Structure 1
């Protein structure tokens, strides 16, 4: 079994780019990752790619060069990035290839994710009238969690304001304007307790991560970052979900819990070893919930930790240092690889103004995708 190292990362900025296709954004990210690793496209032996909007991400090779490499398309909703990372890392770990690339790209229209609900068995009109993957689910879930664990809406406002501040420091972010906690809290209410400014936005972007056998990483970089584990899990019970609620509201622990536990166990590290964290923050409530589900605190402890600044860039548990989804938005296929992009720069010490102090040695990323798939990744220096 080979250890796996990340030797190159690339990103197309997230936002709105009229006249630029998802595929073109994908090639931008690929070229940036190749430049970061000091490689050419012909050096890549295989690829894994994911997208929501692009039916065949493998077609990106037509723009990069027809070198004949194997290309596997993957999709797991918001957990697509973790799935691509896992497939790429495992192929190298098992010795089939030496160098590979994971790619994600998407170009979503404005508004809620209303694209083709028939893909998950819902009628077309369900999306057309705004009922597909809307804010309702997120609001109900956050409201129940805050009630059960005595957490105030101000905590949600603090999470969102922190992510907007971090986005200001990120030249690739979609939203790059600081927003005060008060403005977040008093913004128009979409679904209680979540206001408009507590949500991310579907948008456009691409990301790419190049990996290789760890024993050859020194040929390409003096600062490799090692993929210690990637674990993907699905639900064990219930369907308290975004788009297909056909089972009782009562549910077993989220797949985020099981994916996180498995990732830590496989990597041989504990949550306390992690110096920088990326959590799925489709809304501010999700970041709060995932802090506990991933094992970084007990349910309810988030209120105090967040109020004391633990999750700030200079805090004891920096979360979403690049602004997360709230500042970056979410092009689904690229979102998880953006998390890895940020962790790599943080562990290299090249994150610029948003660099976590103290030279973090390990990073963690968690994705959660409807209708109940979670992916957790641990990387180290």
Structure 2
């Protein structure tokens, strides 16, 4: 039996919310998760919070209540939420606490294709031409992958179209208008081979989960979801990552490969046991690459799998059933907990219009961020 259970989840919708702070959104997500678990903020023995824009996520206690609980702040790029969840689970496994909250929030300014001179010393045209650091890297990465494994432009479009279809069914998503494959393929090219509608957008939102010692989970809910493993890994020398030149030994695995292997080992299962996955789809190419990196398929098999509908909501292996980052956007601190929110709701059979038939038993959540850090979490019911 796993040592840690998730007994409540909460989400503040993702999008744009003028006049509302990240801390206010975080407090709303926390209250929702607490209500889902049937507990009060005063019951929390500890909290872990993650954010890129909020210097001190612990300041949310001013919204929730000044109870004096220990609160640890975490930032680890796009893997922030996985790192926060891992820290919380270790606190419970070590016996330090039995009940706590994990919270992520962010409020990013608009435009992935801009260049703020304050931060990057780049002229505006640099971003406008699709040359912003991370976006051009993702274009380079999938371009190389397409060359090596025969992935097609049509497959890129199918991934994005699936994201928008799923987003239409998700009342908390940022982008809820379906787009056809042709509309996606014909939209403006930004970082070859990725067009405008193949990228996610930075935005705003928050998510939270209540975790506890698995021994007491049934005190809070009849449908606990167990956290079987959460692993974070950084890049190795020679891995092709955003700040790393393509040098060194060939075929060095990406950090997602290492994180997934360790997560499966800790959970005592393999990729064949996964029923549903939430993968980092900063762009549609990333979802394709990460499918193979977490072992859900072999390199090059994605064309056929995606064309067959296997990764759709009604398919054999649903991926990003809530629309992923492409439909939801990415407030970094909240994004990974949004994945957990979706998995828990799917596994409890309460995902509404986007519910996967026969509620999944095992779910996987994967995060990847610059300069090469990944987190993989495995959940089961």
Q: TM-score, normalised by structure 2?
A: 0.95
Q: Which residue of 1 aligns with 2:44?
A: 44
Whether contact under 8 Å (1:113, 1:202) holds in the other structure is no
Contact kept in structure 1, 2:278 and 2:320, CA below 8 Å: yes
**3-state SS, counterpart of residue 121 of structure 2:** helix
Aligned residues: 376
- Report the Cα distance in structure 2 between the residues aligned to 1:299 and 1:239, rounded to whole angstroms: 16
In the superposition, relative to structure 1, how do residues 371 and 42 fare at CA in structure 2: closer, same or farther (>3 Å)?
Answer: same
1:125 aligned to 2:132?
no
In structure 1, the partner of 2:293 is 293
Partner of 1:331: 331
Tell me which residue corresponds to 1:377: 377
Alignment correspondent of 2:277? 277
Q: Kindly indicate whether the alpha-carbon contact (under 8 Å) linking 2:239 and 2:252 is maintained by their aligned counterparts in 1.
A: no
Aligned match of 1:176: 176
The separation in 2 between residues aligned to 1:240 and 1:151, in whole angstroms, is 18
Give the unaligned 5+ runs of structure 1. none
Query: Is the contact made by 2:134 and 2:370 (CA closer than 8 Å) also made in structure 1?
Result: no
Aligned twin of 2:229: 229
Query: Residue 344 and residue 233 in structure 1: after superposition, are their counterparts in 2 closer, same or farther (change >3 A)?
Result: same
1:14-62 residue CA offsets vs partner (Å, 9 max, x unmatched):
0000000000000000000011001110000100011010011111111
Equivalence for 2:247: 248
- Are 2:354 and 1:354 aligned? yes
Q: Higher mean Cα deviation, 11-20 or 129-138?
A: 129-138
Distance 2:356 2:2 in 1: 30
Q: CA deviation at 1:358?
A: 1.8
Match of 1:189 in 2: 189
Q: How far does the alpha carbon of each residue in 1:120-153 deviate from its partner, in whole angstroms, 9 at most, with x for none?
A: xxx6414865355342111111111011101110
Deviations 1:195-237 (CA, angstroms, capped at 9, x unpaired): 0000000000000010001111111100000000000000111
Q: Is the 8 A contact 2:184 2:197 kept in 1?
A: yes
> Partner of 1:14 in structure 2?
14
- The CA distance in 1 between the partners of 2:311 and 2:65, in whole Å, is 42
Structure 2: state its 5+ residue gaps.
none
- Aligned mates of 1:238, 1:72 — CA distance in 2: 33
- 1:252/1:182 Cα in 2 relative to 1: closer, same or farther (>3 Å)? same
Distance of 1:24 and 1:241 partners within structure 2: 35
**How large is the RMSD of aligned CA atoms in angstroms?**
1.8
Aligned equivalents of 2:114, 2:92: Cα separation in 1: 36
Instruction: Report the Cα distance in structure 1 between the residues aligned to 2:105 and 2:202, rounded to whole angstroms.
Output: 12
How far, CA to CA, are the matches of 2:207 and 2:307 in structure 1?
A: 32
In the alignment, the residues of structure 1 paired with residue 351 and residue 4 of structure 2 have an alpha-carbon distance, to the nearest angstrom, of 22
- The question of whether the paired residues in 1 share the 8 Å contact of 2:260 and 2:294 is answered with yes
Aligned residues of 1:108 and 1:203 also touching (Cα < 8 A): yes
Q: How much does 1:264 deviate? A: 0.7
